[in-house]
Amino acid sequence: MSDTLSHSLAGRTILITGGAGFIGSHLASALVGDNDVRVLDDLSTGGAGEIPDDAAFIEGDVRDRETVREAMTGTDIVFHEAANPSVERSIEDPIESNSRNIQGTVTVLEAAREAGSRVVTASSTAIYGAPETLPVSEDATPAPSSPYGLEKLTADRYTRLYNELYDLPTVALRYFNVYGPGQSGGDYSGVIGIFLEQARAGEPITVQGDGQQTRDFIHVDDVVRANIAAATTDAVGEAFNVATGESVTINELAEAIRELTGSDSPIEHVEGRPGDIRHSRADVSRAERMLGFDAEIDLEEGLQTLVNQ
The span from the CA of 12 to the CA of 260, in Å, is 40
Pick 79 or 176: Cβ nearer ligand UD1: 176
- Which of 13, 36, 43, 137 contacts ligand NAD by CB under 6 A? 43
The span from the CA of 55 to the CA of 24, in Å, is 12
Give residues 110-139 in contact with ligand UD1 (rule: CB under 6 A). Answer: 124-126
- Which of 208, 248, 255, 294 contacts ligand UD1 by CB under 6 A? 208
Instruction: Draw the binding track, 66-105, toward ligand NAD (x: CB under 6 A; -: no contact).
Output: ---------------xxx-x--------------x---x-
Cβ 42 to ligand UD1 shortest distance, Å: 17
Active centre residues (catalytic): 148
Position closest to ligand UD1 via CB: 124
- Kindly state the DSSP code that residue 125 receives in the 8-state scheme: G
Instruction: Draw the binding track, 68-97, toward ligand UD1 (x: CB under 6 A; -: no contact).
Output: -----------------xxx----------
Beta bridge partners of 215: 248
Q: Is 124 in the site for ligand NAD (CB under 6 A)?
A: yes
Instruction: Draw the binding track, 127-166, toward ligand NAD (x: CB under 6 A; -: no contact).
Output: ----------------------------------------
Residues with Cβ within 8 Å of residue 270, at least 6 apart in sequence: 206, 207, 208
The span from the CA of 204 to the CA of 197, in Å, is 10
Max CA pair span of the chain: 56
- Which of 44, 206, 208, 249 contacts ligand NAD by CB under 6 A? 44
Q: Is 193 in the site for ligand NAD (CB under 6 A)?
A: no
User: How many positions of this chain bind ligand UD1 (CB under 6 A)?
Assistant: 23
CA-to-CA separations, 141 to 36, 125, 274, 289, in angstroms, rounded = 39, 12, 21, 21
Residues with Cβ within 8 Å of residue 167, at least 6 apart in sequence: none
**Would you tell me how many other CB atoms lie within 10 Å of the CB of residue 60?**
18
Beta bridge partners of 16: 39, 79
Q: Is 41 in the site for ligand NAD (CB under 6 A)?
A: yes
The span from the CA of 254 to the CA of 242, in Å, is 23
Beta bridge partners of 249: 214
Note whether 120 and 75 are within 8 A (CB): no
Which residues sit at the interface with ligand NAD, rule CB under 6 A? 17-18, 20-24, 41-46, 61-63, 81-83, 85, 100, 104, 122, 124, 175, 177-178, 190
Which residues sit at the interface with ligand UD1, rule CB under 6 A? 85-87, 124-126, 176-177, 188-191, 194, 206-208, 213, 215, 250, 273, 276-277, 280
